[in-house]
Structure 1
Amino acid sequence: MTEKTGISYVKGDATAPQGKGVKVIAHICNDLGGWGKGFVLALSRRWPEPEAAYRRWHRERARNDFGLGAAQFVRVTDHLWVANVVGQRGIAPQALDRTRAGGPMARKGIPVRYEAIDAGLGRVAAKAQELGASVHMPRIGCGLAGGKWSRVEPLIAERLIGCGIPVTVYDR
């Protein structure tokens, strides 16, 4: 555990969270409805529900809260939930295959949106408190989204640790 932040760091797989009790696995999604690169592949290998729910949420976005900063909670077992947090605008060109690079889904610059991650983490905190859950995650926003952990870690510390919610970050 980092004394400065209170976040526990472990080597392991965030789709197999450690410890007892109810758990929420938080991860970052894009605002385009795309699911197919990065951590989401590991989620989909374990459970089909988070992907199906995310795609439905995006498809029906005209009638729901889908958008930057939103969070969707999908129960995958009796004591485990997945939080699909929309914290990325578009998809980085390097995340697209070569045939689509530069196409309509690509955006200039990095896709991470720290303010959206912050808002989404606030929603994760509320759900974790409601469930009495701990929160587990990879280094959200720092893979394909292109973010910096030095910007994301303080958001986690403030939104989750600051509310007394235990957080474990998994490094493969």
Structure 2
Amino acid sequence: MKTLTGDLLQLALDGAFDVIVHGCNCQCQMGKGIALSIKRLFPEAFAADQASAKGDMAKLGTISVAEIHRDGRSFIVVNGYTQCHWRGEGNKADYAAIAGVMKAVKARFKGKRIGHPKIGAGLAGGDWARIVPLIEEELAGEDHTLVEFVADARG
């Protein structure tokens, strides 16, 4: 897994990735963290999430996708259903779901440049040391990059 620091969403807009993946809950909220930023910047991704069944735990490990077109560039946003809900403290990340999401991403977007944050390890509270091997195994052989968030200094 390659690692960059920066803003995953801006990097996608700049053409660095063909596909970006982020973790979502199954409640169709996208109300905090990178999901909220995606909801605001790419309403197409929120619409894809809204088209799925709210609260359906069968979504765990699956994806919804949105095609984004901005300023002559195109890329895909993948909403990966990696947790049931967002409420409460502690770990809400579902490790099997994270693996399932990555497996679905590889099946659908093989050969594409894939960018992702620390899926499941932010607000979901998952253990990044446990998540890394899942991502590495499911995306083996793919061009995928972890983007550790650093806000753009230009404002």
Task: Return the alpha-carbon distance in structure 1 between the equivalents of residues 87 and 51 of structure 2.
Answer: 23
Q: Are 2:48 and 1:15 aligned?
A: no
Structure of higher CA gyration radius: 1
8 Å CA contact retained: 1:92, 1:110: no
Structure 1 consecutive aligned stretches of length 4 or more whose deviation exceeds 6 Å: none
Task: Return the alpha-carbon distance in structure 1 between the equivalents of residues 15 and 67 of structure 2.
Answer: 17
The AA in structure 1 aligned to 2:66 is V
Task: Return the alpha-carbon distance in structure 2 between the equivalents of residues 110 and 22 of structure 1.
Answer: 29
More strand by share: 2
Partner in structure 1 of residue 109 of structure 2? 128
What are the residue-to-residue correspondences of 1:20-169 with 2, within 5 Å? 23-59=18-54, 67-77=59-69, 79-93=74-88, 109-129=90-110, 132-160=111-139, 162=140, 164-169=141-146
Task: Return the alpha-carbon distance in structure 1 between the equivalents of residues 98 and 51 of structure 2.
Answer: 21
Unaligned runs of at least 5 residues, structure 2:
150-155
Deviates more, 1:148-157 or 1:14-23: 14-23
**Cα 1:49–1:92, aligned 2, differ >3 Å: closer, same or farther?**
same
8 Å CA contact retained: 1:57, 1:66: no
Task: Return the alpha-carbon distance in structure 1 between the equivalents of residues 55 and 138 of structure 2.
Answer: 28
**Cα 1:60–1:87, aligned 2, differ >3 Å: closer, same or farther?**
closer
Please provide the CA RMSD for this pair: 2.3
Q: Secondary structure at the match of 1:155?
A: helix
**Cα 1:169–1:70, aligned 2, differ >3 Å: closer, same or farther?**
same
TM-score normalised over the length of structure 1: 0.76
Q: Secondary structure at the match of 1:139?
A: coil
1:17 to partner: Cα distance: 2.8
1:154 to partner: Cα distance: 0.6
Q: How many residue pairs get matched? A: 145
**Cα 1:51–1:12, aligned 2, differ >3 Å: closer, same or farther?**
same
**Cα 1:60–1:31, aligned 2, differ >3 Å: closer, same or farther?**
closer
Q: Secondary structure at the match of 1:57?
A: coil
